[in-house]
Structure 1
Amino acid sequence: MKIIKISAVATLISLSSAIAAAELNSPELTPFGAERAADPAEGIPEWTGGLEKKPINQSGGKFHTNPFSDEKPIAVIDRANMASYEQYLSEGVKALYKSYGTYSINLYPTHRTMSAPEEVYQNTKLNTTRAKLVKDGNGIEGAIGGIPFPIPKSGIELFWNHIARWQGVYYEDTSGTAIVDVSGKFSLLREQNKVLVNYYNKNNPADLDNVLIYFVNKMLPPSRSAGEILLVHETVDQVKEPRRAWAYFAGQRRVRRAPTLAYDTPQDGYFSDEADMLNGAPDRYDWKIVGKAVKIIPYNSYELASESLKYEDILKPGHINPEHARWEKHRVWVLEANLKQGQRHIYSKRRFYIDEDSWAVVMSENYDGRGELWRVNIAHTLISYEVPTISPQLTVYHDLTNRTYTALGLKNQEKIPRDFSAAIPDEKFWTPGNLRRMGVQ
């Protein structure tokens, strides 16, 4: 009898995979599983392959030319007229309007600019028949080099689509993190990042060694911790094996295992599992798909990333300068996470808005233990069309209680923005033994 049950389950899984593969091959969907069709009533165009008018001669490590520099906002949404757009605004954005009379949104025409290399599309197609959840959704196996679940059937599959989304194979960048007080004054931390997305650098899932991403972060002057270096091996199944982390301390010239960098461990104005909007182990929450909706979200944020802007032009009291932020209407998946009975986390409930074309979380709302909306996070992205992939240019973490915010990823005053053209370091680079060598260079 047990054999029959196992066989039946295997048949159902195989059938489900076959259906997902057939759906992804449908002309109604993009290679990433988004709705290809336009929605003229909402101003959403058909997806036709991504950015259509790519600026010529764009090379790695250069600031992007804005392909939409000649466009003007079709509407400016402020407190006076926000009721007319209420259905398109997330609860978090509504809270920002309520908190700040100076808050507004410049709404522009929608451009579905997301695209990826053909190899990533093909791997996404293959993942429909080989990717599966393991350990109650705390990990995935079988998937490699593409979106794991382009036809998601559950909230936990949506979670993994963001975690394993296409964001390039390797990149380097130098950026600033500004901690902005109530008056608009800010302190700036500078850091250099080197990131290898192992999931997109391997051809066989068995070669991952449970490592999704390798990450090196070096603090730069004028940061008080300048010279400190952090090495992270971001594991796929973090319940089975928590992320591995080591730190080099410049004053001691020693390498040590880093303290826990997970869940709600405080960082500079946000918590560990809010980096990249959402990361880490999903085990403390129940995840559910709320549905799909048309929302006004930040998109194609080329002006906000411009080298012509200074940080003082961007960072204002309460929120960033709305003049430089671009918002568009897009279809999003709405994902909700509710804290499990008996689990602990500073957030009791979280809601995420995931761009259907890229699977990137672009907005989130985070509720405290009393069920009150506490923090609102917003990721301003653009398409790095030389790759191509979607890239976060500025992520803003708003604390509604103390009216402060943290702006992570500022690159406007750096010489080089995110660079996808740099050579990938060899395997020894990503080892604890190399940390001290990097520290004394």
Structure 2
Amino acid sequence: MKVHLWFSACALAIGFSNLTAADFNGLTPLGAEKAGNKEGTIPAWTGGLPTNAASVDSKGFLSNPFAGEKPLFVITAQNAEQYRAHLSEGQMAMLRRYPETYRLPVYPTHRTMALPERLYEAAATNAKVVRLGADGLSIENFTTSYYPFPIPKTGAEVIWNHEARYHGGNFRRWITQVTPQVNGDFTPVHFEEEIVEPAQVEGLEPERARNLLQLFKQRVTAPARMAGNVLLVYETLDQVKEPRLAWVYNAGQRRVRRAPQVAYDGPGTAADGLRTTDNFDMFGGAMDRYDWKLLGKREVYIPYNSYELDSPKLKYDQIIKAGHINQDLTRYELHRVWVVEATLKEGQRNIYAKRVFYVDEDSWQIALADHYDGRGQLWRVGEGHAQQYFDHQTMGYTLEALYDLQAGRYLALGMKNEEMRSFEYGFKAQMSDFTPSALRKSGVR
């Protein structure tokens, strides 16, 4: 596999070992390589998409800035070996599992990531002062909320950048999750979610905010048998010192209960056993059950600039197909990714014995994730179809897919094509709406 990790030695020995904490020479403000590759297949980063890159409709959906482009080529099971050096093990497995229907349309690469200037300044500050604690996992001197390690040296630091990345501030979203049967039949589950930053919550006590990464509230709005169920999560920064706090309101029982199972490999909400809690957002939560190894960098075809997949003109049954989503609607581009391997520690428990993450260097967002069972067999393959929400200067997922190679089923989370609007950014949050006692009111059907 040396060809796959061509960047590992040169990046760590030549580039990053010579950097002082504040030295971003040759790097983007978030620590990615600014230059393109020598083949010209990855361009230089020149600032990302402007806020007016394309039109935005009345429901907040973005039009495709690259609508006129056609695929350069399409990777199929028949020609996959030709492109193996730029594919993950999970992608190769999907091509073998679904040789007639799974394909990767590869388009020209566009480095579209762009953030508000203040976040670039924060990243520069973090590079000077933030460090991992003695346990190799907890964070010290992190006060800016985002991107603690723009110049990472360990696998844990890379994953921290994913977990502590910018989501655009407070935002509300109406999304759909499906878990299709083998034949493609599905019943959609609809959620209304609010994700807020501690610094933007009125009434939150400073002492309580000190170890909070974000507040999360999720309400099921359909189907009727589940409508009104609510999940509230206090996502803590140091989850070893202070584990994530979670509560659920069951509309049928009209009761609020603590939910310690909303962590690690506890079952995901309404996921039919097809994802764990820490599969949400491609990976989220405490990292203490794994050893994290930084394998280096690779150039990989990852799902990117997935504007067509987010089109409000699409119906969910046009996206959801047997075995996997409709790959004709997807877009893959060649990008540099950090590769991080997580191996379950001896004596610890998780249904995944090993995980391999492919993290986009520009956005620090996980693009691909391979999950292995206790026998060492590749079990589930995650794909995070990303787009730059250019009007709000943040990168996010259009859709997260998690494919179960053994069961022949999958989960797709985050679709909003048929919803009443796209993401709503910048809403005002009150702490009184994010307390266990407020869940009953939130769950009114």
Assess, with a 3 A threshold, how the Cα gap between structure 1 residues 386 and 201 changes in structure 2: closer, same or farther: farther
Q: TM-score, normalised by structure 1?
A: 0.91
* The 10-residue stretch of structure 1 (50-59 or 412-421) with the greater mean CA deviation from structure 2: 50-59
SS state at 1:247 partner: strand
Q: TM-score, normalised by structure 2?
A: 0.90
Are positions 1:282 and 2:281 aligned together? Answer: no
Aligned with 2:304 (options 283, 299, 314): 299
| Paired letter, 2:211 | N
**1:120·1:145 contact (CA, 8 Å) conserved in 2?**
no
| Paired letter, 1:379 | G
CA deviations over 1:370-389 (Å, ceiling 9, x no partner):
10101101010100001101
For residues 34-433 of structure 1, the aligned pairs below 5 Å read 34-51=32-49, 54-55=52-53, 58=56, 62-101=60-99, 102-134=101-133, 136-143=135-142, 144-198=144-198, 208-267=209-268, 268=271, 269-421=274-426, 423-433=427-437
SS state at 1:343 partner: coil
Q: CA RMSD in A?
A: 2.2
**2:229·2:249 contact (CA, 8 Å) conserved in 1?**
yes
| Paired letter, 2:225 | R
1:207 positional shift: 7.0
SS state at 1:34 partner: coil
**2:54·2:64 contact (CA, 8 Å) conserved in 1?**
no
> 1: distance between equivalents of 2:302 and 2:18?
33
* The 10-residue stretch of structure 1 (270-279 or 124-133) with the greater mean CA deviation from structure 2: 124-133
The residue aligned with 2:31 is 33
1:342 positional shift: 1.5
The residue aligned with 1:10 is none
> 1: distance between equivalents of 2:280 and 2:308?
23
> 1: distance between equivalents of 2:154 and 2:258?
35
> 1: distance between equivalents of 2:306 and 2:344?
33
> 1: distance between equivalents of 2:67 and 2:123?
33
| Paired letter, 1:316 | K
* The 10-residue stretch of structure 1 (358-367 or 204-213) with the greater mean CA deviation from structure 2: 204-213
**2:107·2:331 contact (CA, 8 Å) conserved in 1?**
yes
| Paired letter, 1:293 | R
1:81 positional shift: 1.4
> 2: distance between equivalents of 1:197 and 1:76?
40
Assess, with a 3 A threshold, how the Cα gap between structure 1 residues 355 and 60 changes in structure 2: closer, same or farther: farther
> 2: distance between equivalents of 1:362 and 1:104?
17
SS state at 2:31 partner: coil
**2:136·2:156 contact (CA, 8 Å) conserved in 1?**
yes
Assess, with a 3 A threshold, how the Cα gap between structure 1 residues 366 and 55 changes in structure 2: closer, same or farther: same
1:135 positional shift: 5.5
SS state at 1:428 partner: helix
| Paired letter, 1:195 | I
The residue aligned with 2:10 is none
SS state at 2:179 partner: strand
SS state at 1:386 partner: helix
> 2: distance between equivalents of 1:289 and 1:88?
18
The residue aligned with 1:12 is none
Assess, with a 3 A threshold, how the Cα gap between structure 1 residues 283 and 181 changes in structure 2: closer, same or farther: same
1:45 positional shift: 0.5
Question: Once superposed, which parts of structure 1, at least 4 consecutive aligned residues long, lie more than 6 Å away?
Answer: 199-202, 204-207
CA deviations over 1:347-384 (Å, ceiling 9, x no partner):
11110000000000010001000101011010101000
* The 10-residue stretch of structure 1 (248-257 or 304-313) with the greater mean CA deviation from structure 2: 248-257
1:324 positional shift: 0.4
CA deviations over 1:175-230 (Å, ceiling 9, x no partner):
1101011111112111100001337889x997733111100100012252111111
Structure 2: runs of 5+ lacking an equivalent? 1-15
Aligned-residue sequence identity (percent) comes to 45
> 1: distance between equivalents of 2:293 and 2:197?
27
The residue aligned with 1:5 is none
> 1: distance between equivalents of 2:324 and 2:389?
25
| Paired letter, 2:39 | A
> 2: distance between equivalents of 1:303 and 1:394?
11
The residue aligned with 1:3 is none
Assess, with a 3 A threshold, how the Cα gap between structure 1 residues 17 and 429 changes in structure 2: closer, same or farther: farther
Assess, with a 3 A threshold, how the Cα gap between structure 1 residues 214 and 17 changes in structure 2: closer, same or farther: farther
> 1: distance between equivalents of 2:31 and 2:196?
25
**1:61·1:420 contact (CA, 8 Å) conserved in 2?**
no
**1:146·1:200 contact (CA, 8 Å) conserved in 2?**
no
* The 10-residue stretch of structure 1 (343-352 or 217-226) with the greater mean CA deviation from structure 2: 217-226
* The 10-residue stretch of structure 1 (357-366 or 224-233) with the greater mean CA deviation from structure 2: 224-233
Assess, with a 3 A threshold, how the Cα gap between structure 1 residues 135 and 432 changes in structure 2: closer, same or farther: farther
**1:60·1:386 contact (CA, 8 Å) conserved in 2?**
no
1:79 positional shift: 1.4
1:78 positional shift: 0.9
The residue aligned with 2:12 is none
Aligned with 1:440 (options 409, 430, 444): 444
1:42 positional shift: 4.9
Assess, with a 3 A threshold, how the Cα gap between structure 1 residues 103 and 429 changes in structure 2: closer, same or farther: same
Structure 1: runs of 5+ lacking an equivalent? 1-15
* The 10-residue stretch of structure 1 (326-335 or 75-84) with the greater mean CA deviation from structure 2: 75-84
**2:22·2:127 contact (CA, 8 Å) conserved in 1?**
no
* The 10-residue stretch of structure 1 (126-135 or 162-171) with the greater mean CA deviation from structure 2: 126-135
**1:54·1:67 contact (CA, 8 Å) conserved in 2?**
no
Assess, with a 3 A threshold, how the Cα gap between structure 1 residues 135 and 195 changes in structure 2: closer, same or farther: farther
> 1: distance between equivalents of 2:391 and 2:299?
28
* The 10-residue stretch of structure 1 (48-57 or 386-395) with the greater mean CA deviation from structure 2: 48-57
**2:55·2:63 contact (CA, 8 Å) conserved in 1?**
no
**1:199·1:213 contact (CA, 8 Å) conserved in 2?**
no
> 2: distance between equivalents of 1:20 and 1:228?
50
SS state at 1:195 partner: strand
**1:199·1:212 contact (CA, 8 Å) conserved in 2?**
no
**1:284·1:344 contact (CA, 8 Å) conserved in 2?**
yes
